[in-house]
């Protein structure tokens, strides 16, 4: 009985060691977007706020969440053209008066950086985020 227990322990230990040595999944060149991006946005160079994007690119579909302050806002529309690097995002947020504010973002993915512009109603500005 002790021998069977020892063999089982050796097998379990070997499996755990091999699992720990397995390579971690690496995003492929076909997936330049998935992951966390962080940076800032604002209406001018002097007025900036932190922002992060959690993006997921799977089977040609883009989804994700914008994190601004304490708010997490799910993207309602998202598209990416790999051949040009163009990215378009839309989401809704609750404004100070309780009304829904619809944001539109247009940007360009260049390596590990996305830069572009954002707008809602009559307000607009720019943003820059970098992939972690």
Looking at the DSSP bridge assignments, the partners of residue 125 are 118
Give CA–CA dist 75/3, Å, rounded: 57
Q: pTM for the whole thing? A: 0.75
Domain ranges for the chain, please list them: 35-131
3-class SS letters over 53-80: EEEEEECCEEEEEEEECCEEEECCEEEE
pLDDT in tens, 77-128: 999 999 999 999 999 998 888 899 999 999 999 999 999 999 999 999 999 9
Higher-confidence residue of 54 and 9: namely: 54
User: Phi and psi for 26 in degrees, rounded to 5?
Assistant: -115, 130
- CA 26 to CA 17: how far, in whole Å? 20
What's the confidence (pLDDT) of residue 115?
Answer: 98
Contact 67, 53 (CB under 8 A): yes
pLDDT score at 103: 97
The pLDDT, as a whole number, for residue 32 is: 87
More confident residue, 1 or 27: 1
pLDDT of residue 29: 55
What are the pLDDT digits (tens) for 27-49?
Answer: 455 688 999 999 999 999 999 99
Using the structure block, give the residue that is written with the tokens 């720019």: 126
Residue 8: the pLDDT is 44
| Topology, domain 35-131 | Lipocalin (2.40.128)
């Amino acid at each position: 009985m002790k021998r069977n227990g020892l063999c089982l322990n050796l097998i379990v230990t070997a499996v755990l060691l091999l699992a720990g040595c397995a390579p971690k999944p690496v995003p492929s060149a076909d997936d330049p977007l998935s992951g966390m991006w962080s940076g800032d946005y604002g209406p001018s160079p002097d007025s900036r706020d932190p922002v992060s994007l959690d993006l997921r690119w799977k089977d040609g579909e883009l989804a994700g969440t914008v994190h601004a302050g304490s708010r997490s806002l799910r993207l309602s529309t998202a598209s990416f053209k790999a051949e040009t690097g163009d990215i378009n995002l839309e989401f809704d947020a609750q404004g100070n008066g309780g009304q829904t504010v619809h944001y539109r973002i247009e940007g360009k993915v260049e390596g590990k950086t996305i830069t572009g512009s954002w707008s809602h109603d009559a307000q607009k500005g720019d943003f820059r985020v970098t992939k972690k």
